[in-house]
Amino acid sequence: MKRMIRLAWDALFLSETPYAKMRERANPALYGLGLVVLIALAVALVGLVGTALEWATTPSMADIQSSVLEGMQEMDWYQEFESEEEFNKAFSQWYDMGWSVFPQLFGAPSLATAGARIIFLPLGLGFVWLLYGVVAHLFARMLGGQGDLGQTLGCTALAVAPQLLNLATLLPYVVIGGVVGTWTLLCRYTALKTCHRLNWSRALAATLLPYVAFGLLLSLFVCMGGALFGLIVGGMSQ
């Protein structure tokens, strides 16, 4: 486990050495899978601790909800409709519904959500790693790459290393922004360049073409969904 973390830490700084070591391993794909799961679990567990600390130092949402309601009830527009039973019923429903959704959307700590990440983060990172690795391997081979699929998956697993930056969320209220996505892209470039022994331009193309392919596929699904929705609406209106 320590060797995995050390290898990922070295890969984080874009050195080609850890990627070359991964390429020469006996079973790089399996080792890469273990690395992805290990990083995901570490990030999720640390995130849970950070969320618990943040939750413990955050004012009660119930108290905030009650205080906001009291303030709204003192407003002129509320007092104007307060005597109407329908208004009170509808307002109460929408107010409670809003407070069940909006706090989390705006960053309120949720222990349930943080706990669920222990399961869903390894699954999500694992799926993205596998999907990107397979597609990037196809493009790298088309561009003259020399690595096999197992080597590609092993090396691109090291590109998950920027997720280690999320360990900073152990501290309450710390948020890691888009730097992880940009850093991951740079690590993927280094992984494909090293694994397939490509020059910089072909490695860059192999890195970016999967994003282009995923974007085109998503656009196709959106267009097909829009066309299908139009046919259904058109059929119902006749």
- Looking at the fold, whether 101 and 153 belong to one and the same domain comes out as no
Note the pLDDT of residue 85: 74
Domain count, the chain: 2
Note the pLDDT of residue 118: 93
Q: Could you report the per-residue pLDDT of 163-201, keeping only the tens digit for each?
A: 988 888 777 666 676 789 999 999 999 999 999 999 999
Q: Name which residue leads in pLDDT, 206 or 103.
A: 206
- Looking at the fold, whether 33 and 138 belong to one and the same domain comes out as yes
- Which domain covers residue 175, as residue numbers? 2-54+110-237
- Looking at the fold, whether 30 and 146 belong to one and the same domain comes out as yes
Residue 223 has pLDDT above 80, yes or no: yes
- Looking at the fold, whether 26 and 66 belong to one and the same domain comes out as no
Name the domain boundary from 75, 105, 135: 105
- Looking at the fold, whether 215 and 231 belong to one and the same domain comes out as yes
- Per-residue pLDDT, averaged over 105-111, amounts to 66
Helices 179-196 and 2-12: angle between axes, nearest 10 degrees: 100
User: For residue 54, what are its two tokens?
Assistant: 């943040």
- Looking at the fold, whether 146 and 203 belong to one and the same domain comes out as yes
Residue 10 has pLDDT above 70, yes or no: yes
The most confident of the ranges 2-6, 132-136, 171-175 is: 132-136
- Looking at the fold, whether 43 and 70 belong to one and the same domain comes out as no
Q: Could you report the per-residue pLDDT of 80-95, keeping only the tens digit for each?
A: 777 777 777 777 777 7
- Looking at the fold, whether 121 and 96 belong to one and the same domain comes out as no
- Looking at the fold, whether 129 and 186 belong to one and the same domain comes out as yes
- Looking at the fold, whether 147 and 86 belong to one and the same domain comes out as no
How big is the chain by its Cα radius of gyration, in Å?
Answer: 25
Please state, in angstroms and rounded to a whole number, the distance separating the CA atoms of residues 171 and 173. Answer: 7
Quick check: pTM over 0.75? yes
Name the domain boundary from 88, 105, 122: 105
User: For residue 136, what are its two tokens?
Assistant: 């990037």
Residue 72 has pLDDT above 70, yes or no: yes
What totals of helices (H) and strands (E) does the chain contain, helices first?
10, 0
- Looking at the fold, whether 6 and 91 belong to one and the same domain comes out as no
- Looking at the fold, whether 205 and 142 belong to one and the same domain comes out as yes
